[in-house]
Structure 1
Amino acid sequence: MASILDTVNQRTQLVGQNRLELLLFRLNGRQTYGINVFKVREVLQCPKLTTLPHQKGVICGVAHIRGQTISVIDLSAAIGGKAVTDTSNSFIIITEYNRTIQGFLVGGVERIVNLNWENVLPPPSGSGQSNYLTAVTELNDKLIEILDVEKILHEIVPSKMDISDEIAATLKPTAPSKRMVMVADDSAVARKQIQRALVPLGLDIVLAKDGFDALNQLKEIASGCNDIAEKMSLIISDIEMPEMDGYTLAAEIRANPQLQSLKIVLHTSLSGVFNQAMVNKVGADEFIAKFNPDELAATVNRYLAETCEG
């Protein structure tokens, strides 16, 4: 128990400091990729895989690990690269995204590095709709590419984006002045999912591509008024974002007198025992794991109703 608490304390020290830890890995070539350590459950030599009938092309089989059956995705093939033909020298990164466990087949695993989100930048403009990058950074004169895993998973198994009829029936209209909500997420797929889920609420949704962009837009919206709550009620923010992460964004909002009344919902594919401690530390109001449209719409509706009543 003591070691677990020590780990929690170490992780929470990164909160509000705009830092992250990346596990570096390779696919078929020399290019290095990174994945947030918080999303990694385990890394192991690729075990024997079981092929399933009618499985999708990028799913190379299932692995039986510690009593659990896990789908294994050929990450190189999933982003349009060369498929792995020999898994004997490959590795599997077991991850948890969007409430699901999956394995990513990779060519090799290098090390864990600690970085500042300020040094993690959005992909170059003009890279096109087909690219699978959500961010890039440089380490020892080498480019590190961070993949948009949410986009990859959505293409393999599309997420449900519409809310259920049961939840739709419980949604209540809000005052027109309280209908502005911001969505901050570096994944275009995630932004689209959130927008789709919130359509029944009739909201004026402002989009931001990362925490830095969100903070600048919030300051602009709040200019000319004493309290941003006069114009906006809520922000839904991802945690992993280039330049400024969601934890740091939340801390910045709470430290700004014009913005501090804004309700903050952290909405992320990150999972684990550390989240609530981090949410409390930065002053966010709630944490919701991606992606459940019913839960998200109901939560936003509740906060909007509370704001109107206030």
Structure 2
Amino acid sequence: MAGILDSVNQRTQLVGQNRLELLLFKLNGRQRYGINVFKVREVLQCPPLTSMPKLNSFVKGIAHIRGQTISVIDMGLATGGRPIKNVEDGFIIITEYNRTIQGFLVDSVERIVNLNWGDVMPPPSGSGRANYLTAVTEIDKELVEILDVEKILEEIAPSDTRVSKGVISDDEIIQDLGDRIILIVDDSSVARNQVKRALEGVGLPIVAKKNGKEGLDYLVEIGEQCEHSITEKIGLMVSDVEMPVMDGYTLTAEVKSRPKLAGLHVILHTSLSGVFNHAMVEKVGADDFIAKFNPDELAGAVQKWLHE
């Protein structure tokens, strides 16, 4: 299990190629699920867990791993299913999301697969708002469900989307932007709503799209209405990185390669973290990178690039 993750340097070579690596695992039964390897720190056999009073019902217990105390979330329960039966024989996937580290208890871990984001589709339209899927794909002629981990974590510990007083200034530069739009591109409904609430104080209209392909199609359509540059109508774009159909890195590279779109400032806003992200941002030409989710940092960065 120690060798299940590739090195960070190898994984960064996927940037701008619209590719991802999924770690496949199972909860209860035959259904396979996937999680982006970029978000996985470690996979290990479940260690002894310590129970604590007043824990969320989805949290199985606390584990002490490499000098850190980590909450272990039962992925089966957290997604509305049955709890993981054999905890001692289960595995913990240690992840880093939104600047926090947590463990997810799963029944078994299989392998890593390399995919093109173009082979990863949004959830079926009839799946409803209550599902925990952010995307689906087919591997070995079987459907693999990619879970919306941000939604799971939001239900356990809701984020504060309020922007501190004074972060957003009421100045003439913002007023001069008129009715220009802020474009948000994110496949997670939870993340889209978080960003909307954090940026309401900026005072510009907000349009949201669910993946990079939708975002790019929208920009191309608006760009055709502009005489010189997309910046005549779009003030800025805030994009997630990992999304079905087209990821945020590929979206950014496409935007920066098209003359009418190239002037648009792009902030990559993602739960992916780590020092390797700075190299990724430079490679695709993004203007900024903000790790989820700090409303003050996001609002401040948006205001800064709108000034530019």
TM-score over 0.5 for the pair? yes
Match of 1:53 in 2: 53
Q: Aligned in 2, Cα 1:304/1:16: closer, same or farther, shift over 3 Å?
A: same
SS in 1 for 2:129: coil
Counterparts of 1:175 and 1:188, CA distance in 2: 30
> Residue 304 of structure 2 aligns with which residue?
302
Equivalent residues in 2 for 1:24-43 (5 A)?
24-43=24-43
Range that drifts further, 159-168 or 236-245: 159-168
Structure 1 counterpart of 2:3: none
Greater mean alpha carbon deviation, residues 195-204 or residues 6-15? 6-15
Matched, 1:14 2:29: no
Describe the SS at the equivalent of 2:255: helix
Q: Who is 1:130 aligned against? A: 130
Task: Say if 1:178 and 1:304, in contact at 8 Å, map to a contact too.
Answer: no
Query: Which amino acid counterpart does residue 25 of structure 1 have in structure 2?
Result: F
Contact kept? 1:135, 1:242, Cα under 8 Å: yes
Q: Does 1:141 align with 2:145?
A: no
Structure 1 runs not aligned, ≥5 long: 1-5
Q: Aligned pair in 2 of structure 1 residues 67, 171: CA closer, same or farther (>3 Å)?
A: farther
Q: Secondary structure at the match of 1:287?
A: strand
Q: How far apart are 1:85 and its partner, in Å?
A: 4.0
TM-score by length of 2: 0.95
Query: C-alpha offsets along residues 134-161 of structure 1, whole Å, 9 cap, x if unaligned?
Result: 0000011011100000000000000011
What CA RMSD, in Å, does the superposition of the two structures yield over aligned residues?
A: 1.3
Percent identical among aligned pairs is 63
Letter of the 2:290 partner, please give it: I
Aligned to 1:3: none
Shift of 1:176: 3.8
1:178 is displaced (CA, Å) by 6.1
State the number of aligned residues: 300
Match of 2:241 in 1: 239
Q: Is the 8 A contact 1:174 1:304 kept in 2?
A: no
In 2, distance between residues paired with 1:298 and 1:195?
14
Contact 2:212–2:243, Cα closer than 8 Å, also in 1: yes
TM-score by length of 1: 0.94
* Secondary structure in structure 2 of the residue aligned to 1:13: helix
Q: How far 1:83 moved relative to its partner?
A: 1.1
Q: What CA deviation, in whole Å up to 9, does each residue of 1:91-138 have, x standing for no partner?
A: 000000000000000000000000000000000002111000000000
Query: Take 1:217 and 1:40, find their aligned partners in 2: how far apart are those partners?
Result: 32
Aligned to 1:205: 206
What do residues 39-82 of structure 1 show as CA deviations (whole Å, max 9, x unaligned)? 00000000000001111110010000011000000011001100
Is 2:252 the partner of 1:230? no
Letter of the 2:204 partner, please give it: L
Specify the alignment match of 2:255 in structure 1. Answer: 253
